[in-house]
Structure 1
Amino acid sequence: METNKQYLSVEDISFKLNCTPQYTRKLIRDGKIPAEQVGKTWVINPEVLNDNETLFKISKDIPDQVRKNSDVPNIVALSFFSGAMGLDYGIEKAGIHPLLASEIEPNARKTILLNRPNIGLIGDINNYSAKDIRKFANISEKQEIDLVIGGPPCQAFSTAGQRKGFQDKRGNVFLTFIDRILELRPKFAVIENVRGILSAPFECEEMEKRFGFAPKTPEEKKGGALLYILNKLEEGGYTVTFNLYNAANYGAPQKRERVVFFCSRDGEKVPYLPPTNDEFGNFGLPKWRTVREVLSDLKEDEQKAMKFPEKRLKYFRMLKAGQYWKHLPQEVQYEAMGEKLKLGGGKTGFFRRVGWDEPSPTLVTDPTMPATDLCHPDKDRPLSIQEYARIQEFPDDWKFFGEMKDVYKQIGNAVPISLGFAIGKQVVKLVSSQELDLPPVNFPFSRYTYTDDVSIKKLMQKRLQKIATQPELEFA
């Protein structure tokens, strides 16, 4: 669409806003779009299109866009399921600048363009072929792609969900992502996901083909999704390594564990990410970073936060930094928790104040939910938007589009910048054939065992072959 006209028509603006001319006229009548009437025709100053933030406030969604420049950097990278771009900003810090982002959520799409206005942008990857993706990234059919990176929706595999795996519609997007990787044929692909992917059930022929065993019970089907993923990638010519990483070991002030798969097209077995921090300062590394380090300079009167119901604040006021419901007076615990006391597990998310001198718990999409409370260490409120962004390590000038609840969700779903940076550094060394740093021997990447490709494959094979005599054997 031309934007060098002296005036734009209603139709021009409608195209830009991805809406009908009738809706545009309503915005004009409501005073949301400045316009002048010439005869019976509305005309709009083209300057309206130069202010994305204002433009986005009046648009329901934004159209896809082809990358606005044609320069091709030394490392060609494409990002999928980009969200608020936490993973993307992390790899940017390492020197990799994605040429394209893929996202379906309207507010997150606007966040992407507020921060990276020239990037190529597409929506649901089910609707785009490899040829389409290249077109929006503004690269030729012959251009070698160095990296495809993304974190497909994790709800289908979350341990907090129903664990439907690939039977869940969102799980199928994971398979589409793998298909696109195999079609685009990048040198390397990185897939980020939740711990639940390691044990998510899926009934697939790969189990019987590889192990001579057809799973029948839910217990026997555990790990089927992982095996299916690995087989698809390996049959497509990729060597795959993976591990469960705690972001705190990479400099994030947050205990957040995510599985990261490294897929290499040329048969190279990518080593695990070398850590930069350790919980106790072992292995010659500094200790984990703390909440105090990243929040202590923020001014209270500038914080924007949701609110806890007054009836719950009564109990938060009895707790200090780092405490939760078990630290309430014994006689108050049942009053605060009620029937929830009968739930299994430690219930550590109830009435939880974040500690000052340790990393934050995993940030969630809503810090006010009763089972996943994230109360400020000292103040009687949830963590604020600014505090969320600091803990996820977004720069202070990063823009998030949407209402407060939408922004919490975008930040809560992001990958901590430090973990993205560690991934980016690894890819830069791989692409440039530099010597890779190796992690210390016996380093505890997470609090769980059997979460890396070597141990989990051995244990999975053992489980499937001996399930009849060892039905209770777990692997994740």
Structure 2
Amino acid sequence: MEKLTAISLFSGAGGFDLGIEAAGFETRACVEIDYHSCTTLKNNRRNGKKTGKHSFFHNAVVLQKDIRTVEPQRLLRAARLKQGEVSLVIGGPPCQSFSVFGSRKGMEDPRGTLLWEYIRMIRGIKPKAFIFENVAGLLTIDNGKVFESFLDEVCRDENGNKQYTLSHYLLNTADYGVPQFRSRLIVFGTLNGVKVSKPAPTHLPNQESQLKDLNLLATPVVGDILKGLPELPNKDIPNHIGREHSERIIERYSQLSFGERDSKTRINKLHPEKPSFTIVVGSDKGGGKGHIHPYQPREVTPRESARIQTFPDFWAFSGTSRHPIRQIGNAVPSVFAAQLASHLIKEAFNVDSTTSYEDIIETLGLSYLKTGSATDHEMVTV
């Protein structure tokens, strides 16, 4: 089997990279503009090498750059590869300009133009395949014209000739073993003409009326994945530090029912027997918040949010207060990324991939997800 190499764009805190590495790819280079995200990547790479606890990101060169100033050849040199040799490019431009939670300015927002930077990188690197990820809102901006233009351009080379075969799907991470409802647009592109099919769901949220004639796992739920974390305050596990709340807020949070939204902070109290709501990121000026803990009258800590996003507990985030929350909220859930990459390997690289959900959580060290695995829950077969 050939060595599967990857270059990561808009890398953030590395959730996408962790997932594809768990599936068998090796990140060689990445580009990210945010200082704290790059520090997170570098610190975890160094700590993994120093302690031997993990091998993720060991061969990745981290470039803290505005992608608009980076030439594709610079990334290829960092990756120690030539044009056409890279197996996979991953990433999705910042999505706030397309999100239903954002202002939906689309191409009027400067971040919207980063779609075209993604295209420039694909053309310059010419990977054998790519996975593009973004919010569902991108589908409807300007009545779908922005997304149509993106698809028409990303499949072509600089001379306008078609080179990539595309497929795109709207997927929910809860259907792939992530304890969070999070709708995402995924575009697969391949050079070899393979049209990647829709990844088959491996999980289903606990909805008894729908569990018929299926062979799926139950999606992990909040109550299970938060078990095992130490009580606050605690500094033994990275980023497990909570916000300080006034007595007034504590009292208000105490009165909320599971799933209810607080009228002031406008965040939801998590239901222990369901996957989480989508993580709230906040604006560029801050404001990123977790949801309200199901059993305690407080917001979840960054570490608890990281578990909802399926980051390993050893993956520490740089910065204080809002920085970790924004890195976590902006990330592609690692388990979801691994499911996408494993599917791509099987279909586009002609490899009989046998990477199961259990293999993924074992490789990533996600012991807190094992309550949703076949070893602890019977497969749902009615």
Taking structure 2 as the reference length, what is the TM-score of the superposition? 0.79
The alpha carbon displacement at 1:178 in A equals: 1.0
Corresponding letter in the other structure for 1:422? Q
Measure the CA separation in 2 of the matches of 1:148 and 1:238: 13
Partner of 2:278: 362
Q: Secondary structure in 2 aligned to 1:157?
A: coil
Q: Are 2:133 and 1:192 aligned?
A: yes
How big is the shift at 1:356? 0.4
Taking a change above 3 Å as real, the CA distance of residues 242 and 304 of structure 1, as seen in their structure-2 partners, is: same
Contact 1:78 1:149 (C-alpha < 8 Å) held by counterparts: yes
Cα contact 1:321–1:378 (8 A) shared by 2: no
Residues 381-427 of structure 1 show CA distances to partners (whole Å, capped at 9, x for unaligned) of: 10012211111111111121111210111111111111111111022
Shift of 1:191: 0.5
State the shift of 1:323 in Å. 3.0
Q: After superposition, what is the alpha-carbon deviation per residue over 1:417-462, rounded to whole angstroms, capped at 9, x for unaligned?
A: 111111110222235303689xxxxxxxxxxxxxxxxxxxxxxxxx
Compared with structure 1, are the counterparts of its residues 351 and 179 closer, same or farther at alpha carbon in structure 2 (3 Å cutoff)?
A: closer
Structure 1 unaligned spans of 5+:
1-72, 202-221, 326-335, 338-348, 438-476
Q: Provide the C-alpha distance between the structure 2 equivalents of 1:431 and 1:273, rounded to a whole number of angstroms.
A: 13
**In the TM superposition, what is the alpha-carbon distance from 1:160 to its structure 2 partner?**
2.1
The separation in 1 between residues aligned to 2:33 and 2:287, in whole angstroms, is 29
TM-score normalised to the size of structure 1?
Answer: 0.64
Structure 1 equivalent of residue 22 of structure 2: 93
Task: State the Cα RMSD in Å.
Answer: 2.4
1: CA distance, partners of 2:252 / 2:83: 62
| C-alpha separation in 1, matches of 2:229 and 2:223 | 10
Write the letter of the residue equivalent to 1:150.
G
Tell me if 1:138 matches 2:80: yes
Q: How does 1:421-432 map to 2 (within 5 A)?
A: 421-432=338-349
Q: State the 1:193 CA deviation.
A: 0.2
| Alignment partner of 1:251 out of 177, 185, 205 | 177
Q: Residue 235 of structure 1 aligns to a residue in which SS?
A: coil
In structure 2, give the amino acid aligned to 1:357. E
Q: How far does the alpha carbon of each residue in 1:303-360 deviate from its partner, in whole angstroms, 9 at most, with x for none?
A: 41123444333321112333335xxxxxxxxxx56xxxxxxxxxxx835210101101
The alpha-carbon deviation at position 234 of structure 1 amounts to 3.0
Secondary structure in 1 aligned to 2:77?
helix
2:66 matches 1:124: yes
Q: Distance in 2 between matches of 1:412 and 1:164?
A: 21
Question: CA–CA distance in 2 between the matches of 1:152 and 1:414?
Answer: 11
SS in 2 for 1:109: helix
Higher mean C-alpha deviation, range 190-199 or range 159-168: 159-168
Q: Within 5 A, what are the aligned runs for 1:342-421?
A: 350=266, 352-365=268-281, 374-421=291-338
1:291 correspondence with 2:222: yes
Paired residue type of 2:241: K
**1:167–1:296: structure 2 CA closer, same or farther, 3 Å change rule?**
same
Cα 1:351/1:78, change in 2 over 3 Å: closer
Find the residue that maps to 1:390 and give its secondary structure: helix
CA distance in 2, matches of 1:356, 1:142: 48
**Preserved CA contact (<8 Å) 1:353 1:373:** no
Stretch deviating more after TM superposition (261-270 or 233-242): 233-242
Report the CA distance between 1:371 and its aligned residue.
11
Partner amino acid, structure 2, of 1:180: M
Give the equivalent residue in structure 1 for 2:49.
none
Which stretch has the larger CA shift, 313-322 or 80-89? 313-322
**Contact (CA 8 Å) 2:136, 2:170: kept in 1 or not?**
yes
For residue 77 of structure 1, what is the aligned residue in structure 2?
A: 6
Is 1:161 the counterpart of 2:78? The answer is: no
On the 8 A contact 1:350/1:373 being kept in 2, the answer is no
Displacement of 1:76 in angstroms is: 1.5
What does residue 179 of structure 1 align with? Answer: 120
User: Would you say the 8 A contact 2:8–2:30 is kept in 1?
Assistant: yes
1:57 paired residue number: none
Q: CA 1:304–1:231 in structure 2 vs 1: closer, same or farther (change >3 Å)? A: same
CA deviation vs aligned residue, 1:81-118 (integer Å, no higher than 9, x gap): 11110111011111112101110000101001111245
Q: Which residue of 2 aligns with 1:305?
A: 242
